Structure 1
Amino acid sequence: MSETIKAFGKRRLSKEQMLQLITGLLVLAALVALASNVVQRHLFAQNMLDEITPRYERLLGIEASAKDMQGLTQRSNQLLQAYAYPASREPSQIGTDIQQKLRTAFAGQSMSIQSSQVLPEEEDGALMAVPVELRIEGNIQGLRNALAVLSSQRPLIQLREITLQKGRKLNVNTPVLLTIQAKFFAWRERP
């Protein structure tokens, strides 16, 4: 066996065999480089898939809930219309409308409006507030009833602040008259 190894070590390759060996090694090196490149691209693609899959699934979830979102958007628009005047209406028109609704509510409860004034429009978060200041005279029960009537108005008229002052009492059998200064407002969508 040792003679075979010695003979193999002494054996010389011909030029043609050497060329074939070098060509084979170059082809093998090219195949290894190509395989390495394919493996790297596969790993990169796998990482990208792992990264993109959750995003894609979220998008599918959003797409699946699009009808629900449209329904909720429609419902929120309905609520906005119930609680706020449209942006197309002028603040002065809204102020006049609020004054008229306040007069109707308080006059229906035997309360007298001494003065009313539409104040400048104010920013209130994503909406605009159209404030109206009133000076009213009447009893506490009339005030409660008028506020209850206002709570059913749409768009909603809200009470921002109120000051009550004890007024006069006409006789023993009548309730005490109050002097009330109140600031009401209604929302308007931003233009």
Structure 2
Amino acid sequence: MKAQWIRDATVWRAFARRSAWGLLWVALLGLPPAGVAWYVAGKHRFAQRNLDDLAPRYARLAGVVEQQDALAARAAQAAEALTLRVLPADGDPQALTNDWLQRARNIMEQNGLAIESSQALAPQDLGPLRLLSMTVIADAELNAVGRVLAQLRSQQPPMHVVRFSARTTGPVAPNSNPRLKVQMQLAVYQQRLP
């Protein structure tokens, strides 16, 4: 009986030894595919996170592409509105400033302003626009100044009043149209070449 037990123990040891070698071989052969599977699963999770991050961006891009015609029409409207409010980029800025100063002087003289002095200032770059400004000092009645300001705004493109100061040139009677000495800085915007 003892021999049987020893024989069984020997068989078990041999079986355990063979099983250990078998398990070792299974582990050695199974580790590379398991490592590859773990790597592929990690890459899949990474790609899925990136796709989830890109989905809203793609939806916005698809919306922009879908509305491309409407956006092009609005861009054309904006370009047309810009041409009504801003001088084109071609043309010498100083020559344009002098031209617009002469226009302003003509409007003022037609409305009864006595121009004492006028000066075209150096153009200033303001991002995509250029500011063409000029100063005018004139003597006029209050009603004439109001008419001049309205006509300057009605020009194409409109002339903007950057600075304006007015003071009376003598005693002012109640309910009268006082005589004023006005100093104005006027400006017109011009596009700049990119």
Band of TM-score, shorter chain:
0.7 to 0.9
1:186: Cα distance to partner?
A: 0.7
In structure 2, C-alpha distance between the alignment counterparts of 1:184 and 1:134, rounded to whole Å: 8
For residue 53 of structure 1, what is the aligned residue in structure 2?
Answer: 55
For residue 71 of structure 2, what is the aligned residue in structure 1?
Answer: 69
Mapping of residues 98-177 of structure 1, within 5 Å:
98-167=100-169, 175-177=177-179
SS in 2 for 1:156: coil
For residue 90 of structure 2, what is the aligned residue in structure 1?
Answer: 88
In structure 1, C-alpha distance between the alignment counterparts of 2:46 and 2:149, rounded to whole Å: 68
1:106: Cα distance to partner?
A: 1.7
Q: Number of paired residues?
A: 183
Which segments of 5 or more consecutive residues in structure 1 lack a partner in the other structure? none
SS in 2 for 1:68: helix
What TM-score, normalized to structure 2?
Answer: 0.74
* Cα deviations by residue, 1:104-157 (Å, 9 ceiling, x for unpaired): 322232222232211111233442211111121211001111111111101111
For residue 38 of structure 2, what is the aligned residue in structure 1?
Answer: 36
SS in 2 for 1:85: coil
Which segments of 5 or more consecutive residues in structure 2 lack a partner in the other structure? none
Instruction: Return closer, same or farther for 1:162/1:44 CA change in 2, 3 Å cut-off.
Output: closer
**Larger mean Cα displacement after TM superposition, 136-145 or 54-63:** 54-63
1:159: Cα distance to partner?
A: 0.8
In structure 2, C-alpha distance between the alignment counterparts of 1:111 and 1:51, rounded to whole Å: 65
In structure 1, C-alpha distance between the alignment counterparts of 2:10 and 2:123, rounded to whole Å: 103
In structure 2, C-alpha distance between the alignment counterparts of 1:9 and 1:36, rounded to whole Å: 40
Instruction: Return closer, same or farther for 1:182/1:39 CA change in 2, 3 Å cut-off.
Output: closer
In structure 2, C-alpha distance between the alignment counterparts of 1:55 and 1:9, rounded to whole Å: 69
Conservation of the 8 A alpha-carbon contact between 2:143 and 2:177? no
- Tell me the C-alpha RMSD between the 2 structures: 3.3
Conservation of the 8 A alpha-carbon contact between 1:85 and 1:94? no
Identity of aligned residues (%): 22
SS in 2 for 1:123: strand
For residue 190 of structure 1, what is the aligned residue in structure 2?
Answer: 192
In structure 2, C-alpha distance between the alignment counterparts of 1:24 and 1:163, rounded to whole Å: 95
In structure 1, C-alpha distance between the alignment counterparts of 2:45 and 2:178, rounded to whole Å: 85
For residue 11 of structure 2, what is the aligned residue in structure 1?
Answer: 10
